[in-house]
């Protein structure tokens, strides 16, 4: 099966508390209606842009207000929600409801899975030396950069497409397990081009041999 290490989230909603607000890269006590800024919360269901996958969008809501989350990025372990306040105001310490755009996330996850199926198909067709050098995972498309010692022929491209399409059309269950990186790699999971993983990783397995 195609097994790889993933970092992603399983929930689209969560409750949280505002830890910090930033406007023009400076900490502020509150953000008012029509103001834009970055919001840091005590926890989040939002995926921050990483490994080629674009950050989640969605919205925050509270008793008297609403904010659009237009992007999610991170610096070290801090997740930054790039927001515009549509109604009311937000202040530090305020509880909020966080909601990810589930439809957009599903499209991102499908394209992210496709990059890993494509990676395996390339390795099976062109050789195990093929290594990912970068990627873009967007809701409407994906891009996969890789190293190889020759142009990919039209015949090889057809084989690669057939492998990926076959795995997608089989519609096999996707299995997820939490493991240590060492245990995952010992079972055959592919850790990609020096990515840094924590003490635990989500190991996602999809498709059949």
| 114 within 8 A of 169, measured Cβ to Cβ | no
Q: 2 in helix, strand or coil? A: strand
146 compared with 172, residue with greater pLDDT: 146
What would the pLDDT profile of 110-126 be if each residue is shown by its tens digit?
A: 999 899 899 999 999 99
pLDDT at 5 exceeding the cut of 70 = no
At 182, the pLDDT band (50, 70, 90 cuts) reads confident
User: Which strand (E) or helix (H) includes residue 119?
Assistant: helix 102-126
pLDDT of residue 192: 61
pTM, two decimal places = 0.83
pLDDT at 4 exceeding the cut of 50 = no
Percent of the chain whose predicted confidence (pLDDT) is above 90: 68
pLDDT of residue 185: 81
At 10, the pLDDT band (50, 70, 90 cuts) reads low
Backbone angles phi, psi at 5, to 5 degrees: -85, 130
87 compared with 208, residue with greater pLDDT: 87
Structure tokens, 78: 């801090």
d(CA 108, CA 56): 9
Beta-carbon contacts of residue 94 (< 8 Å; ≥ 6 apart): 17, 18, 62
pLDDT at 59 exceeding the cut of 50 = yes
pLDDT of residue 144: 94
Structure tokens, 49: 């842009």
pLDDT of residue 39: 97
At 187, the pLDDT band (50, 70, 90 cuts) reads confident
Structure tokens, 124: 């099976």
Please list the residues that pair with 100 across neighbouring strands: 58
């Amino acid at each position: 099966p195609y097994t790889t290490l993933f970092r992603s989230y399983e929930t689209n909603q969560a409750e949280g508390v505002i830890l910090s607000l930033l406007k023009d890269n400076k900490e502020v006590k509150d953000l008012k209606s029509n103001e834009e800024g970055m919001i840091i919360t005590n926890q989040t269901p939002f995926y921050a842009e990483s490994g080629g996958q674009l950050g989640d969008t969605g919205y925050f809501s509270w008793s008297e207000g609403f904010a659009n989350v237009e992007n999610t990025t991170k610096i070290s372990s801090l997740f930054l929600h790039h927001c515009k306040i549509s109604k009311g105001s937000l202040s530090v310490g305020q509880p909020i409801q966080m909601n990810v755009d589930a439809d957009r996330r599903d499209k991102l996850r499908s394209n992210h899975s496709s990059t890993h199926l494509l990676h395996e198909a390339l390795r099976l067709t062109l050789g195990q030396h093929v290594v990912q050098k970068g990627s873009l995972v967007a809701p409407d498309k994906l891009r996969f950069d890789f190293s190889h010692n020759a142009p990919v022929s039209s015949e090889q491209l057809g084989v690669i497409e057939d492998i990926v399409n076959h795995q997608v059309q089989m519609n096999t269950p996707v299995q997820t397990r939490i493991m240590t990186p060492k245990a995952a790699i010992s079972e055959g999971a592919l850790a990609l081009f020096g990515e840094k993983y924590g003490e635990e990783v989500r190991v996602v397995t999809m498709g059949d041999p």
